[in-house]
Structure 1
Amino acid sequence: MALSVVMPLDISGESAKYPALFEKMGVDFTARRCTTPEEVVVLARDADAIITEGSQCPIPREVIENLNRCRIIAGTQIGYDTFDILAAAERGILVTNVPGYCVEEVSDHAMALILACARQVVALNEAAKRGEWGFGPHSSHIREVIRARMDALGGKTLGILGFGAIGRSLAPKARAFRMRVLASDPFVDAPVGQEAGVEMVDWPTLLRESDFISIHAALTPETRHVFDENAFASLKPTCCLVNT
């Protein structure tokens, strides 16, 4: 019997290669978008492997407990918080992710959002759509509000929550703008940060001293709701929070 691989998503982008690749390997491959756990079970009940992007199609315990033959759940993303890894372990099912996926792209995007906040790009774009620009007679909002919020990045402090691959990719980009960079990560020692020109600090210090905070921590029971009411109360009033 041929191995069976299923993907509970539409075929698009990189996955357009999958049908031909699996056909060459003699593997039965089926892709169909599933929007509920029940639909995933119908598709994957007798499959040997599942390929999925967790944010689009989570694999919870109620799915895993109804898989008869599955050996591996292969996530195509960095995070694995949308897979019930404990349920998978109980069934002897391997769960994989792609730690290096889009590291540069995500850190680039985080830096772009930091710049957009500092230079008020979105607000200026909206003002231009209203016919306001420069210092003309219809630009009082730009002069009095938007420009007052604009600032240079040099000398500002960026706090990075989670100093893994993406956080470490973002740090030199921020330092190129002459920003001071802090990072908070209980699994990273100070010498690692020092090599990257980054100060490793505790969570309260990061909250208190940052002008910008970029989130790059995995979603775990320990990090869920880490930005609670007390955390927001600790921020500078002008702090910008970037969540890519």
Structure 2
Amino acid sequence: MYRVLISDPLSEDGIKPLLEASDVEAVMDASLSHEELLKEISTSDALIVRSQTQVTRELIEHAPQLKVIGRAGVGVDNIDLDAATDHGVVVVNAPDGNTISTAEHTMAMLMSLARNIPQAYHQLKQNRWERKKFVGVELKNKTLGIVGFGRIGNEVAQRAKGHRMKVIAFDPFLTEEKANKAGVQHGTLEEVLQQADFLTVHTPLIEKTKHLINKETIQLMKPGARILNCARGGIVEEDALYEAIENGKIAGAALDVFEEEPAIDHPLLSLEEVIATPHLGASTVEAQENVATDVSLDVMDVLRGGAVKHPVNMPSVSSEVMEQLAPYFTLAEKLGSFLSNVTDGALEKVNVYYSGDLLDVDTTPLTRISVKGILKRYIGERVNDVNAYKTASDKGIVINEQKSTSTKGFTNLVTIEIETDQEKRTISGTLLNGLGARIVKLDEYSIDVVPEGHLIVIHHKDQPGAIGRVGSLLAEHHVNIATMQVGRTNQGGEAVMVLTVDKAVEEDCQEQLGGVADIQQVQCLTL
């Protein structure tokens, strides 16, 4: 008999699979104190939570029988994933259950924003009949800009088209072909911002999307445009939005999420042009039932040793596989991360090639880690060794794995090739005895680079003085060069310079490097 502890309120209809299972004892109590929770978890095989319970390392360490943690929803910020993985506990979530509810809530906010419905209702409640004050705008023939075109973004687009809106979307994974299939216009982030009458964001909150909509990007928008955020607090910089509404640049905003919640007495709520709800995107009867059902089924699958639909962290692997592959884990992820950070365009295909010592080994876990390294640039910590393949598949990215007897002079070699709608890039790496991971080739250039720390990749003409000019400029910005590698195809032709530096390069320094004579492209990254 498996004991499943449910420590947050969940839909009883949603957890029916648990309640009806003959081999499961489901215990639901959302009022447990910290001490009571520690006691209850000590004899539980599974824990299911929403966002209320903080699943800390301490909690996990008090659960010797724990095999799986289920999050009835998408975000796992309240779960210590590292601690779960350290203790061999699988974490699962339910990313699909609230897609429709969030898309519908976005449309409700969109229409309310366009027609001033909350403001007008508030006036009526105060016995005021203010028809002239609340003249709105029609959605027909307006342009909806969508930043983030995953499941929810796509659902919003289809509903907006039903209102005869024009839709333009940006997403790192969105290609012209995929956009055409969805019936929307493909655009860059700048094009979406410039064309949108209404702008809605549907991205995860990661380093690259935090304050994506800020003072600078808002300036690209039309005067009188409107902004919606029903995704994650922090994607929109709230101070910049407040200022833009105050000075008339932005006509209004609809917010379901805030950077810090609960958002009581928030300055934005003082503006009549702002409408808001208290994080209701997933708050429908159906969504709550869906996420509860999805996570219940996944939890039971883990307990019974079946396949898991929505794993979040890395499951344990056999000691034999770990022993053979563990030395390559860091190399594979760093190669993927490096290449994705220097490649432009929407991802379409990833090819991973193995040779040498890896010829007769099951390298599937390595490929997953490579894909994780690639996708982290776009998705952040939501992608991991387990869900990397499914995440790629959901984005329409093709993953290929091949093996070759050609080692090109190395005992072992891992080569990753990325194809986007703009270019094809490759990187090769190896493990050198006693020296660890090395990047040995970038595209056609042979190099020898340790894949860690702050790196600068510079494409340039192989001309006298190019290296010196780069070094002098970095010195002016107090950036110390630790190592430098230069690769070229022929004398006086195209060349690549890879520098390891002691600190991250600031944006103005990177821009100045791009203006140095004979420098064609400068890319900075941190591994």
Shared fold by TM > 0.5? yes
Is 2:224 the partner of 1:242? no
Per the alignment, residue 411 of structure 2 pairs with none
Report the secondary structure of 2:144's partner residue.
strand
Is 2:106 the partner of 1:120? no
Q: CA deviation at 1:11?
A: 5.3
Per the alignment, residue 7 of structure 2 pairs with 8
TM score, norm. by length of structure 1:
0.79
Is 2:185 the partner of 1:199? yes
Question: Structure 1 or 2: larger strand share?
Answer: 2
Q: 1:68 to 1:228 in 2, by over 3 A?
A: farther
Q: 1:84 to 1:180 in 2, by over 3 A?
A: farther
CA distance in 1 between partners of 2:143 and 2:118 (Å): 21
1:30-109 equivalences under 5 Å are: 30-33=27-30, 40-53=37-50, 55-109=51-105
Correspondence for 2:23 among 23, 26, 36: 26
Please list every run of 5 or more consecutive structure 1 residues that lacks an aligned counterpart in the other structure. Answer: 134-138
1:15-45: CA deviations, max 9, x gaps? Answer: 5636632xx4232322222577666444323
> Taking every aligned residue pair, what percent have the same amino acid on both sides?
28
Correspondence for 1:164 among 150, 156, 160: 150
Q: CA deviation at 1:90?
A: 2.9
Q: 1:29 to 1:223 in 2, by over 3 A?
A: same
AA aligned to 2:40 is L
Q: 1:240 to 1:182 in 2, by over 3 A?
A: same
Is 2:176 the partner of 1:177? no
Question: Structure 1 or 2: larger helix share?
Answer: 1
Contact kept, 8 Å, 2:46 with 2:68, in 1: the verdict is yes
AA aligned to 1:201 is G
Q: CA deviation at 1:186?
A: 1.3
CA distance in 2 between partners of 1:180 and 1:164 (Å): 18
Contact kept, 8 Å, 2:145 with 2:198, in 1: the verdict is yes
AA aligned to 2:140 is G
CA distance in 2 between partners of 1:204 and 1:35 (Å): 49
AA aligned to 2:227 is C
1:137-184: CA deviations, max 9, x gaps? Answer: xx4xx42x421xx10111212122221111111111101111111222
Contact kept, 8 Å, 1:38 with 1:63, in 2: the verdict is no
Per the alignment, residue 136 of structure 1 pairs with none
- Report which stretch shifted further, 34-43 or 76-85: 34-43
Q: 1:9 to 1:183 in 2, by over 3 A?
A: same
1:88-117: CA deviations, max 9, x gaps? Answer: 233322221223203222211211110111
Report the secondary structure of 2:199's partner residue.
strand
Correspondence for 2:134 among 139, 146, 150: 146
1:44-87: CA deviations, max 9, x gaps? Answer: 2342111122x233434443344322211112213334433333
Report the secondary structure of 1:25's partner residue.
coil
CA RMSD of aligned residues (A): 2.8
Q: 1:204 to 1:91 in 2, by over 3 A?
A: farther
Q: 1:161 to 1:82 in 2, by over 3 A?
A: farther
Contact kept, 8 Å, 2:199 with 2:228, in 1: the verdict is yes
Contact kept, 8 Å, 1:5 with 1:48, in 2: the verdict is yes
Q: CA deviation at 1:190?
A: 2.8
Report the secondary structure of 2:13's partner residue.
helix
TM score, norm. by length of structure 2:
0.40
Q: 1:35 to 1:211 in 2, by over 3 A?
A: farther
CA distance in 2 between partners of 1:102 and 1:188 (Å): 22
CA distance in 2 between partners of 1:41 and 1:56 (Å): 15
1:128-143 equivalences under 5 Å are: 128-133=124-129, 139=130, 142-143=131-132
Higher relative contact order (CA 8 A, sep 6+): 1
Contact kept, 8 Å, 1:163 with 1:185, in 2: the verdict is yes
AA aligned to 2:180 is Q
Please list every run of 5 or more consecutive structure 2 residues that lacks an aligned counterpart in the other structure. Answer: 231-280, 282-527
AA aligned to 1:50 is L
Contact kept, 8 Å, 1:37 with 1:60, in 2: the verdict is no
Contact kept, 8 Å, 1:160 with 1:183, in 2: the verdict is yes
Contact kept, 8 Å, 1:212 with 1:242, in 2: the verdict is no
